[in-house]
Amino acid sequence: MSKRCTIARLGLLLMAVALLAGCDQQAKELLHAGKATARTDLVGGPVAYADTGDFILENDKVRVAILGFQRSWGPGVFGGSLVDADIRRDDPRYPPGYGRDKLAEIFPFANLLVPAPLGGQVTVVKDGSDGQEAVIRVEGKGMFMFEALSVLETQRKLLAGLGYPDVHTSIDFRTDYLLKPGDQFVTMRTWVALRPRASQSNQNKGFSEGASCTNDASCGSGGVLVCQNIGTAGTGTCGCKSLADQGCGGETCAMAHNFDDFGCQQCGCSGTATMTNTTGPVSVFAAVLGPKNPGIGESKTKAGVGGGDFVFFGNQTDIFVPGHGFDEEKPVWDALFNNVDTFGHPLVFDFVSAAGGEVSYAYYTKKQAGQDKEPQVLVPVFTSAATAFVTAAVNCSTDPSDDDSCDKVRVFEYERYLAIGQGDIASVSDIVWKHRATATGTVKGYVRWEQTGQAVANASVHVLRDPDPTKKWTSLQEVVQANRAIDASPGVLDSVDADVGADTVEDGAFEATLPAGHYVLVPMDPHKVVTGAPLQIEVKAGKTNVVVPSLPAPARLRVKALDSQGSALPAKATVVRLGSDGKPLFRDGGRLPYFGQGRLGIGIERLAFGMDGSFDLPIQAGTYRLVVSHGIEWSVADQVVTLKPGEERSLKVSLAHEVDTTGWLSTDFHLHAEPSFDSGMPLGDRVQTIAAEGVDYVASTDHDVLSDYVPFLRKFNLDQWLKAVVGSEVSTLEIGHYIGFPLKYNQVEVAGQPHNAVPSHGSVDWYCTPSNDLLKKILASSGMDGGQASTIIAHPRDGFLGWLDQAGVNAYSLTRTLSLMEQNNPVLRTVACDQDAMEVFNGKRFDMTHTATVKEVQLFSRCLKRIDDAGVTGNTVDAASAREVMKVACPELADRGLQNVVTFEGVDSCPADEDITTCKMRYRMALAAISAGDINTRTPEEQAAWMAEGQSLPSGATEQTSDTALSALKPLCDFDPAKLSQPFETAVPPASWNRPCGRRDGVLSDYFRFLEHGYVRGIVGGSDSHGYKQEPGLPRTYIRSNTDAPSNVDPQTVGESLRGSHTVPSYGPFIDVKVLGGGPGDTVKATAGQKLKVHVKVQTASWFGVDRVEVYLNGQVAQAFDLAVDASRVVDFDKDVELDVPTRDSHIVVVALGAQPGSWMRPVYLDVPFGELQLARVASIAFSSLLGSLAKTVFPPPARIPDFFPVFPMAISSAVLVDVGGDGKYDAPLPLPAFCSPQCDATTGEIQDAGYSAQGKKRKCSDLQSNYKCLTPENRCGVDVPGVCNIYSEQKAGALRSLLGTH
């Protein structure tokens, strides 16, 4: 070696040493808070929202992003929220700005208010340059995320009257997001400052609320409001005084000054008190409302503050709660079935975490000084995508002893943490244990295949509580059963991934820390197919356990699906696990939801989709029923296979197109995928699931974002099977959801932008936009090759997310009455009715189709109550007696042989070894199936009663009349448990049996009434599919078309067919209706008294059927046909139905239904099972809970309508309109609905639309309903709702401060 080289090598060595030292030092000092100025500053990832201009907080471990002053494009509304979070990745695959964020959004709330930061209220407090900490601060006035919640503010007097005075609904927020070097968690420290107002007691002494000292702005700069002239009786007035006059210095306070009991500012700044972290279940409303609220925690306290966060983990993560594991939905549904109000009795968890594969999160708190145990987070609202956590609360006592430390304090502080891990639950649990200084030991090892000893890369190891360490557990089921006996949970405490996250060395190794204790470890393969034998260990603090659990080899099932010509067919494989009796296992079957296998129901083990007809399914050994399908028009292949461990089986099946739909396209205009925050389905998977269901034409309709399926159609070579256009579901929070398609989507433009630079991809911004303007915005986005966009109202009767419900539309009078909670919501001043169509079928929501009758609802409620109560004594359930009681739970159905409801589905009782909880669900589900079938089987009497409720009102009825009618209806379906022992005829008078239940309205019922009012719009069925469990095309819309080839479809023609109502929404059957040569949506001419032949042909594929066909004339059931149950029949009904043409213009509608078990679509289409929670449903539950809590003493609980059921084959044809008058058009007997907001002349108040005229004379808005006005600037009839909506535009207008002060 040359000397020169030797010197060079020495130099290299020295340089390496220096660099290593330097790098180490650099890593330790990495601490930064600041504005992102470049893409590389951002977090990045599949659901990253932040962009340049937003704020970044990072250290050597983690990087998070916080929105600046802007409207949130995430599930929240306002800015300042934590939207992105990831570990730091020193991995060239993930360069800066291209991380793996999978968090949707987190933002604090207190008393249901959330901060709405304005310009300059998101700031860097400490940039981290001191090496100590980096802090980003978000301040903001508390606003209600849901305007509906402003009822707490607007109805303060009402609340006080109900016994809830002084509720704090005027709050300022300050939240510091804080990082220190080395932290793997973000500290979120929030201060809430209560804005003062005169207390209720002082108001009672003469200080009106409005005279309280709340508005410091009115005193101008340097002035403060003080109370003056306080008399001995406590009366007085407020006025302005300078600080000097007050004897105060010129101090400024960080959050709040001191105030007196009258809400008047005093010298000095308010001290800060720390809110108490919750360590057990307390009522959320107890904290917020004060002493008279129901539920846990009643004490002599005043209204207080409950603080926490809205945490939207997002659907690209799997939520985990210690105890229930990944089955976090189970406790929610357990609570619901036990009629537990989760606000009064919230769910309680040690912490809640979410695994995203490459990144994971945990939300938690830690014990405060003086607390002897670790706190827990309270969960009043929970879905897999959206959760509200309450972590701390404060309620001052009525006892004066705490006045100084509590009552006079205006600022309260609470703290919680967001841990960010490698991708599994264990990596965030580790952070939690460490942060809490919990004594832990280590468990490590690897999972291996039992047959070869090979390490299983990316396997997982689930950690369960050992229910009895003295016992030897031989199966997972034993362990779970023993754990359930302890606390009703399977006892899943942690989950560890081998090769966690983006580990490049896939050697199957895992490692985790666990608190000292006894555990059972259960390994699982990376595809979540097989589990290994349980393995018991004892973990000791500071010690390490090395374990090597084994997994049996999964079996494999290879299937090839072909059409009758032998060509490959996109198809779906449904694999149902069969028990030893050859019948499908009940509910989850062999799936383990608590280990993250998800829930499919009816014993289904696997679903798979094969674009070229090929399936390769790893599956655990067992006996299965394999059903291969291609949607509702095709036959299925159905066979039983038995597989042993490691066995591979190849099968070839052939399917045939059975249903003739010539001239009709099968469409689905309501589909979601990963771009929607509440869907975790990749776009490619979405396209595959659509093609496998045999849908011809679809629109992608993600929530508030445009996405394009076309690249995936090409990728999978599906052009001949499917055509797709770009659309969006404009998902307002409080005026319903609006679908628009095809919309402009510039792929190049989007591709050229980073995903989170244009998070909506051009979708319509609905914030503070009334519905008429919203429709205009959608139409303005028309584009692609489809001409004018089509607009559809989604799920119009879906409570909080339903257009008709939110607008307060009375289903009988079609007038509007805003609910108490929406009376201050300005976007509800008017209601648009100009959309092209509305969904009469949405998802598998058979609870939203027909309006149930009083008898149906009461009968369901009575039977359900008996099942719920069966064998229950206190907190225990006697299984034997419960089984006996349930066998006669429904005497009301004795005449149908269904006193024992499970006989409906061909069994006599639960299996002997089935636990009572599962057994009860079996009865509940059978009952729900019967009830839902009955509700959707419309008798002539029921339909006549429905129509009569509206028609009993005199023409031009006022809303008072209709409201009276409604208020008379509602109590009829309130269930009174006290009457359970009475005979049904006594408890529910027969005269009311057929009357509609006025608390829940169905869209099909609405449709008939709309037709009577001449409000003719298209009707559609949309699957609203968010994942695998909601099949695309179920329901779907058959739409008349001039081509049957998807590749030849012209979107413009589809739009025209939709606007022309040439549609047949369907859950399976295909209805062909011909009247005088016309079909659905057509207007035909006829003569009064003429015998009209209506040709009705109903077809179903050979594996399901219809057993009832109903022909409606003018909203009445003119003829109904009960058919023999025969699923194998393809043409179920084919005949001419003769009707007498009445003297008025008419409409004819046909409905087909399969309500009997032999007609159902199992297992190809999954039941709506126990366990499925949608955000919409949870929001409804939350608001019902709020109202229920407020008014529980006033109103009994409303009757329940079954919302879990099998899929019933059901279809409805759009109305064929019959022109009897001879003017060539359909003239409805009733005027256009009042709830629509017709255009009006502000000067005259007259309605411009001739459809609202009476006898040729223009009517005024007030003629529609007395509180209608011709509103300006809208120039539409509507309700003059006060309130502030767009805080951002108001800020620009300079009026915000005072406006916000009104809160």
- Closer of 353 and 824 to another protein (Cβ): 353
Q: Which of 405, 544, 1043, 1193 binds another protein (CB under 8 A)?
A: 544
Measured between alpha carbons, how far is 839 from 295 in angstroms, rounded to an integer? 38
Given CA atoms 1055, 1059, 1064, 1067 in this order, what sign does their dihedral have?
Answer: positive
CB half-sphere exposure, 152, CA atoms < 13 A: 27
Asked if 570 contacts 470 with a C-beta cutoff of 8 angstroms, the reply is no
| Contact between 1078 and 1097 (Cβ < 8 Å) | no
Residue among 284, 315, 308, 307 nearest 75 (CA): 315
CA distance 803 to 739: 12
Tell whether residue 453 is a contact of another protein (CB under 8 A).
Answer: yes
Decide whether 409 or 420 has the Cβ nearer to another protein.
420
Closer to another protein by CB, 16 or 1124: give it. Answer: 16
Residues 120-139 that bind another protein (CB under 8 A): none
Cβ at position 641, least distance to another protein in Å: 13
Q: Contacting another protein (CB under 8 A), which of 245, 399, 403, 507? A: 507
Question: Could you tell me the smallest distance in angstroms from the CB atom of residue 778 to another protein?
Answer: 47
E-assigned strands of 69-207? Answer: 82-87, 105-110, 113-116, 122-127, 134-144, 171-179, 185-194
Half-sphere exposure of 935 (CA within 13 A, CB side): 35
User: Interacting stretch for another protein, rule CB under 8 A, among 325-333, 644-652, 722-730, 1178-1186?
Assistant: 644-652
Say which residues have a Cβ less than 8 Å from residue 491's Cβ, sequence separation at least 6.
323, 464, 465, 467, 479, 480, 483, 484
Kindly indicate which of the ranges 364-372, 503-511, 853-861, 1071-1079 contains the residues binding another protein, using the contact rule CB under 8 A.
503-511
Across 1104-1140, b (16+ Cβ under 10 Å) vs e yields bbbbbbbbbbbbebbbbbebebebebeebbeeebebe
Binding mask 462-501 for another protein (x = CB under 8 A): ------------------------------------xxx-
Task: List CB contacts of 63: < 8 A, sequence separation 6 or more.
Answer: 43, 56, 57, 85, 86, 87, 88, 99
Q: Which of the ranges 548-556, 834-842, 878-886, 1017-1025 carries the binding residues for another protein, by CB under 8 A? A: 548-556
Binder among 217, 548, 1250, 1295 for another protein (CB under 8 A): 548
Beta strand 544-547 pairing with 440-446: parallel
End-to-end CA distance of the chain: 83
Using the minimum distance from each CB to another protein, give the nearer residue, 426 or 655: 426
Given 536, 623, 939, 964, the residue binding another protein (CB under 8 A): 536
Q: Which is nearer to another protein, 621 or 1120 (CB)?
A: 621
Least distance CB 317 / another protein (angstroms):
20
- Dihedral (C-alpha) 623, 629, 632, 633: value to the nearest 10 degrees? -130
Tell me the window of 641-649, 827-835, 1176-1184, 1247-1255 that interacts with another protein (CB under 8 A).
Answer: 641-649
Q: Which amino acid is at 1046?
A: P
Query: Rule CB under 8 A: which of 656-685 touch another protein?
Result: none
Nearest approach in angstroms of CB 537 to another protein is 6
245 has which bridge partners?
Answer: none
Judged by CB, which is closer to another protein: 23, or 486? 23
Q: Which stretch binds another protein (CB under 8 A): 275-283, 432-440, 547-555, 1117-1125?
A: 547-555
Burial of 358 (0-12, 13-18, 19+ CB in 10 A): buried
Q: Which of 66, 535, 972, 1084 binds another protein (CB under 8 A)?
A: 535
Report the SS3 class of residue 1104. Answer: coil
In the list 331, 380, 421, 554, the residue contacting another protein (rule: CB under 8 A) is 554
Contact predicate 462/595, CB 8 Å: yes
Count Cβ atoms below 10 Å from residue 1264 Cβ, excluding itself: 28
Counting residues that bind another protein (by CB under 8 A) gives: 62
Cβ proximity to another protein: between 548 and 757 the closer is 548
Kindly state the smallest distance separating residue 95's Cβ from another protein, in Å: 9
Minimum separation from the CB atom of position 430 to another protein (A): 10
**Residue 7 or residue 968: which is nearer to another protein going by CB?**
7
User: Which one among 243, 457, 945, 1285 touches another protein, defined by CB under 8 A?
Assistant: 457
* Sole binder of another protein in the list 123, 279, 368, 545 (CB under 8 A): 545
Q: What is the dihedral of CA 667, 671, 675, 678, to 10 degrees?
A: 180
CB nearer another protein, residue 1 or residue 978: 1
Q: What is the dihedral of CA 1035, 1041, 1046, 1050, to 10 degrees?
A: -120
Residues 766-795 that bind another protein (CB under 8 A): none
Q: Provide CB contacts within 8 A for 802, sequence distance 6+.
A: 736, 795, 796
User: Applying CB under 8 A, does 254 fall inside the site for another protein?
Assistant: no
Q: C-alpha distances in angstroms, 1231 versus 307, 1081, 1251?
A: 50, 20, 7
* Amino acid occupying residue 1260: K
Mask for 512-531, x = binds another protein (CB under 8 A): x-------------------
Interface with another protein (CB under 8 A), residue from 239, 646, 799, 1078 = 646
Q: Tell which one of 229, 232, 470, 504 touches another protein (CB under 8 A).
A: 504
d(CA 1108, CA 1133): 9
Angle at 1214 between CA 1208 and CA 1217, to 5 degrees: 145
| 880 near another protein, judged by CB under 8 A | no
- List the interface residues with another protein, window 11-40 (CB under 8 A): 11-12, 15-16, 19-20, 22-23, 26
**Tokens encoding 1170:** 């126990």
- Exposure string over 315-349, b if 16+ CB within 10 A, otherwise e: bbbbbbbbbbbbbbbbbbbbbbbeebbbbbbbbbb
Q: How far is the CB of 1048 from another protein (least distance, A)?
A: 35
Q: Does 640 bind another protein (CB under 8 A)?
A: no
Is 4 one of the binding residues for another protein (CB under 8 A)? yes
Give the residue with the Cβ less far from another protein, 500 or 893: 500
Query: Cβ distance 999 to 1198 under 8 Å?
Result: yes
Q: E-strand spans in 863-910?
A: 872-873, 876-877
Which residues from 993-1052 bind another protein, rule CB under 8 A? none
Query: Taking CB under 8 A as the rule, does residue 92 contact another protein?
Result: yes
Distance between CA 597 and CA 886 in Å, rounded?
A: 31
Q: Please, which residue, 208 or 452, has the CB nearer to another protein?
A: 452
Q: Whole-number minimum distance, CB 679 to another protein, in Å?
A: 31
Residue number with CB closer to another protein (507 or 765): 507
Which one of 509-517, 671-679, 710-718, 1147-1155 is the stretch in contact with another protein (CB under 8 A)?
509-517
Tell me: does residue 455 bind another protein (CB under 8 A): yes
Judged by CB under 8 A, the residue of 53, 91, 371, 960 near another protein is 91
Of 20 and 894, which CB lies nearer to another protein in the complex structure? Answer: 20
Q: Which is nearer to another protein, 211 or 621 (CB)?
A: 621
Residues in the chain: 1303
Shortest Cβ distance from residue 65 to another protein (Å)?
22
Give residue 567's Cα distance to chain centre: 40
The mark string for 433-452 relative to another protein (x by CB under 8 A, - otherwise) is: -----------xxx-xx-xx
Longest CA–CA span in the chain (Å) reads 117
Q: Which residues bind another protein (CB under 8 A)?
A: 1-2, 4-5, 8-9, 11-12, 15-16, 19-20, 22-23, 26, 90-92, 444-446, 448-449, 451-455, 457, 498-500, 503-512, 535-537, 544-550, 553-554, 556, 644-650
